[in-house]
Structure 1
Amino acid sequence: MHAAHSRPCPPRAPDKVEPPLQAPGAAKVCGVCGERAKSHHFGGMACDSCKAFFRRSVQNEAYRHFRCAYEGRCHITISSRKCCQNCRFQKCVKIGMEKKWVMSEEERQHQDKLRKERKRQRLEEADGRRAECPKPPSPMEAHRKSRHLFLSEQEVKEIDMLVKKFYESFQKCVKIGMEKKWVMSEEERQHQDKLRKERKRQRLEEADGRRAECPKPPSPMEAHRKSRHLFLSEQEVKEIDMLVKKFYESYSSNPLEPQSNPNGPALPTRVVSVFVNAVTRLVSYIFTLPRFRQIAACDQRVLLKHGVLAMLILRGSMVYDSGQDVFDIKAEGAKVGLDDVKSVMTPDLYQNHHKFVQKMQSLGLDITTLMLLQMVVLFSSDLSGLADPDAVARTQDHYTCLVRRYMSWWYGEETTRLLYPKMLHVLADLRALTEAHNMNT
């Protein structure tokens, strides 16, 4: 979840957003973020990134929980499209993308199966016709000899006009991006309707079950541990515990050498030593994560190259002590003051770094939320050079949904509706700060 600017929120968009008109022969542009597009997807001209975002949002029904902290007026561009899911989804809808055109994985597999079966039948029929009639006569060679017995010249002209108009309209549909493969057979449509009704029935039963179990649910802030099962599965709880445990285990496997003068100021070499040790520890921690090891090796290198520094900056906001103005790494007994950090940065970079830390501190996030946020930062699917961005996007979506559900349990749903979008907007500042660091190193 990154954006390329450092403001707390994207620029405000005008009240009314119209899909951009595509001039004939002009380069196709995504109506959501403005990136180059290949064709229409789900009824609207969209790039691959916005297409994948729209599909995932509808398939897992995450769009129902999207909220905008800025009254739905965020301006969506290539650099800010990750900042506000709600405004991005609403813009997808405005340019004509239809939720009902998004099929589930089961529906898509069933449709592929039907396509293959129809193709096989057509090939068999074609083979049968060739066997029955090795060399059929051309209709254009014989029909003219007897046509005058059945049709007048006026009727022939009318038939030719109807056929011509039909194929002209078909070509227009193809030019504007309509795909033949999107047209389902009657059997496929009935199967899809059946699946929709079954999912709706299951959701209603689950909702009735929750109401029966808890007619008057307690406040999450008063009894959140009792309601954890409503937000997190046992598997998700185990995964969160594993992330936290392995992170602190990385301290013991990569200890920091003791400072020669603990009470004196940290020398620049000491600051660099702490930084190098933190990088080593973080990389070793990342390689213990099962979901990271499932990513292709070439994509692992890309994620480490762009994600480790962002995770370190985020980690710094976790250990910052605003009362003493120091980064207090209690697990290692190391303290690095703001003045020590200032000695190894340019003034502008130091100011931006300090502002980001203060902004993160103002959100008041707990350690576990920040741990999960590190995973969202690491698995960035919009990085250039990824061989399989979809695999990275699925992992990032997993952690994005996981941190949302964890926050709903820990802070309560009402607080999370306000806190969650603000947290994602701060990630835009993190992206800009990381890029500034890279430019000055």
Structure 2
Amino acid sequence: EGEEKRWLDGLKRKRKNSQCSVKSMSGYIPSYLEKDEPCVVCGDKATGYHYRCITCEGCKGFFRRTIQKNLHPSYSCKYDGCCIIDKITRNQCQLCRFKKCISVGMAMDLVLDDSKRVAKRRLIEENRERRKKEEMVKTLQNRPEPSSSEWELIRMVTEAHRHTNAQGSHWKQKRKFLPEDIGQSPVAPTSDGDKVDLEAFSEFTKIITPAITRVVDFAKKLPMFSELPCEDQIILLKGCCMEIMSLRAAVRYDPDSETLTLSGEMAVKREQLKNGGLGVVSDAIFDLGKSLAQFNLDDTEVALLQAVLLMSS
């Protein structure tokens, strides 16, 4: 792989130097491949360098399959190996097409078997992820320090969250688990044809109004929100209330018991939440909770996420 890369880089430089004047006349394409460049095997439109030659996808695949499955010993030609290979005739004679692949320089040793190809893809993906993480770290390291006014705003948003977040950091000690026999079997039909467990639904309705009130109180404590016209405040709250309540529940996902704690007091399992009236929305909240659990978000991070949801709804 390293040898092929060095060879390809050298070829790119040669092509760039030798064709600079042509590109300036016809318009530069930011790639080593010229526009509508033909496949060196059949003349079809090339897609890139494959096995050391500029070829189309068809000839690339033909050459790879031939080598991987060792098919070339079985190829034969009706016309003594004298066929002309082009876009129209390339599928009519496998032997002449393969001979053309070899004659133009396609390298058999660069064709990987299945295990090596999987390993190469895995390595490429790992390198891609590593580069992404390095770029993220670099971006964070170069991030400017917040100004004093920005720190003050962050403090205010964090305090607004803490004052309106039921049970605060003690939710695990104060939560009560919804009995397991509640919410396991939906029985009552709803207007849209679904069924709901009435007992679980009743429990959830007891906490929904206080939860909404706390979201409204959170919003009112933010200066950027309270300065808006009343009509705009109502529109924003209608658009974000469910999202903020879902986020507040999601960050209280407990992997050990596989529960979410609603409104800081009621721990429920996925099926209980689903059968209690939330349906498929419960899956989204639980999945979000499982994803966020690995980040161990603090109050400030959760508060800022809520502020973003509020002001962008």
Would the TM-score normalized by the shorter structure come out above 0.5? no
TM-score range normalised by the length of the shorter chain = 0.3 to 0.5
State which structure, 1 or 2, has the greater radius of gyration over its C-alpha atoms. Answer: 2
Greater relative contact order: 1 or 2 (C-alpha under 8 angstroms, separation 6 or more)? 1
Higher helix share: 1
- Give TM-score scaled by structure 2 length: 0.41
